[in-house]
């Protein structure tokens, strides 16, 4: 059973971050069990928001989740005078100041192991300590973290399969149980001076509306639960459907895991129980959740991966540069490479903030190994546009594609964008959805349209090079250049 501290704080403060829910929340349960009165806060951190585009679906998603969280706290307190305090400020300044204003003797939060977050928390901890306030943090975002899964030599794993085997050997039903402690605390009423510290409108913090509402993305804890219930009925088919972007195969829960509107324990518990009953699809999905743990422990133990390769020798690679590289990168960003599956995937990202996982691999490999562009350029683009952007997973995925990361694909394994298209979108259903100019083309012509339509001629009303781009690179030639580019790695190893 989870151990809870005895009731020891007259006033406590729960600092929500990437855990926007009341249910099965480790830090919150400890706070409720050890405080007489509890306040809740979320900081719209200016150090983060100031670097974002003014139209950002994630900010809109967060605000909608904060509104739900505020409503749920009020319902729990049975009082409209209580609720979530929302501050638009620097967390380093706001949390100690608020704790002092409330007379709190403890601040509770869940771990965030991103390097900048650890630095922020260290600074907050120091300031709180100077005020005589404790800072208590808990594991909540993953099943196993930090040093919990180590090799027999006591070292962190750098290869996924041994990590996964150790993870599965270590996990017990207790690790996946929902957290439920005694709710002794009473929610505090909004103090004077903070009556207006409520979830703001987008324009109040300098942002503009996006198309999030038209996309039909379920939001908040209720939205996450809706998606999870739907996926549970499809989980057994996950292995067979997960690689086809036109099929309803994924769980679509990644953005909810990112912002913690659903507990990772509830998802892993359902997958593990089904896997133990010989459900192959559930086992494959559980592996994806374990990858998530794996990438987070990699980032904790090797924070240098944020800026460089996990395998340092890969930093010797000389990437394309200058105006030509920027032009190629721009075409990739806009979905104008001339390779329909790549372009449709980039259109999906730009229009919705979501990209199917198979297509994340395809587009990343194309940028790196067909265009010769530094993987960090693509990583940064995804970081800006993905609704579910998670530093550890995004970094791990891009380093996998570039062959520079832990347990990455070999550098000589280079996806062919045409055969990937033929294999995973054989009828062109996904391509046609995001490239409507090709919607009348037969499926066999969609994967390499320049072969079906001679230069300066039209096919189904489309002229290659005018209505749809000609290929910006020849894959066969690009492959040879990539092998030469990576030869420095071969020599180093």
Catalytic positions: 288, 291, 319, 357, 375, 398
- How far apart, in whole angstroms, are the C-alpha atoms of residue 263 and residue 23? 8
- How far apart, in whole angstroms, are the C-alpha atoms of residue 277 and residue 267? 16
Distance between alpha carbon 142 and the CA centroid of its chain, in Å?
13
Any residues with CB less than 8 A from the CB of 402 and at least 6 apart, and which? Answer: 309, 314, 364, 368, 375, 408
- How far apart, in whole angstroms, are the C-alpha atoms of residue 61 and residue 20? 11
- How far apart, in whole angstroms, are the C-alpha atoms of residue 105 and residue 37? 11
Q: Which residues pair with 156 in a beta bridge?
A: 150
- How far apart, in whole angstroms, are the C-alpha atoms of residue 329 and residue 318? 16
Pairing relationship of beta strands 106-110 and 134-138 according to DSSP bridges: parallel
Q: Is the dihedral of CA 403, 287, 393, 160 positive or negative?
A: negative
Are 433 and 344 within 8 A, CB to CB? yes
**Helix (H), strand (E), coil (C) string for 344-412:** HHHHHHHHHCCCCHHHHHHHHHHHHHHCCCCHHHHHHHHHHHCCCCCHHHHHHHHHHHHCCCCCCCCCC
CA 335 → CA 338, 426, 484, distances in Å? 8, 20, 27
- How far apart, in whole angstroms, are the C-alpha atoms of residue 105 and residue 412? 57
- How far apart, in whole angstroms, are the C-alpha atoms of residue 286 and residue 272? 7
Distance between alpha carbon 128 and the CA centroid of its chain, in Å?
30
Closest CA to 157 of 302, 271, 313: 302
Q: 213 in helix, strand or coil?
A: helix
């Amino acid at each position: 059973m989870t151990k809870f501290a005895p009731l020891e704080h007259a006033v406590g403060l729960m600092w929500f971050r990437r855990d926007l829910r009341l249910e099965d929340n480790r830090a919150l349960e400890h706070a409720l069990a050890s405080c007489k009165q509890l306040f809740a806060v979320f900081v719209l951190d200016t150090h983060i928001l100031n670097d974002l585009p003014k139209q950002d679906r994630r900010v809109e998603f967060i605000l909608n989740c904060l509104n739900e969280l505020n409503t749920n706290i009020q319902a729990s307190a049975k009082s409209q005078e209580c609720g979530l305090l929302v501050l638009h400020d620097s967390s380093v300044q706001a949390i100690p100041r608020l704790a002092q204003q409330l007379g709190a003797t403890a601040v509770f939060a869940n771990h965030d192991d991103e390097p900048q977050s650890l630095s922020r928390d260290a600074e907050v901890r120091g300031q709180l300590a100077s005020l005589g306030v404790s800072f208590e943090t808990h594991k909540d975002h993953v099943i196993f973290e930090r040093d919990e899964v180590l090799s027999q030599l006591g070292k962190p794993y750098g290869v996924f399969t041994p990590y996964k085997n150790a993870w599965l050997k270590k996990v017990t039903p207790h690790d996946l149980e929902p957290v439920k402690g005694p709710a002794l605390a009473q929610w505090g009423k909004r103090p004077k001076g903070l009556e207006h510290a409520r979830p703001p409108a987008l324009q109040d913090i300098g942002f503009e509306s996006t198309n999030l509402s038209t996309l039909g993305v379920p939001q908040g804890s209720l939205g996450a639960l809706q998606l999870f219930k739907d996926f549970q009925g499809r989980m057994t088919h996950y292995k067979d459907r997960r690689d086809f972007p036109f099929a309803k195969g994924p769980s679509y829960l990644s953005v909810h895991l990112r912002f913690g509107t659903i507990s990772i324990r509830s998802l892993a518990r359902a997958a593990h129980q089904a896997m133990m009953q010989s459900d192959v699809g559930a086992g494959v999905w559980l592996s994806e959740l374990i990858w998530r743990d794996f990438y987070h422990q990699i980032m904790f133990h090797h924070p240098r991966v944020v800026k460089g390769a996990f395998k340092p020798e890969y930093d010797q690679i000389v990437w394309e540069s200058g105006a030509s590289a920027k032009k190629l990168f721009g075409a990739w960003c806009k979905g104008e490479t001339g390779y329909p599956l790549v372009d449709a995937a980039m259109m999906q990202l730009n229009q919705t903030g979501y990209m199917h996982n198979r297509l994340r691999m395809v587009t990343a490999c194309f940028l790196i190994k067909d265009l010769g562009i530094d993987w960090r350029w693509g990583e940064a683009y995804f970081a800006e546009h993905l609704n579910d952007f998670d530093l550890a997973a995004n970094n791990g995925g891009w380093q996998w594609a570039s062959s520079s990361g832990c347990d990455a694909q070999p550098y000589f394994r280079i996806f062919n964008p045409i055969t990937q298209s033929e294999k995973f979108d054989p009828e062109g259903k996904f391509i046609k959805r995001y490239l409507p100019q090709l919607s009348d083309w037969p499926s066999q012509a969609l994967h390499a349209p320049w072969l079906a339509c001679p230069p300066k001629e039209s096919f189904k009303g489309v002229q290659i090079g005018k209505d749809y781009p000609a290929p910006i690179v020849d894959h066969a030639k690009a492959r040879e250049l990539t092998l030469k580019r990576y030869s420095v790695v071969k020599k180093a190893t």
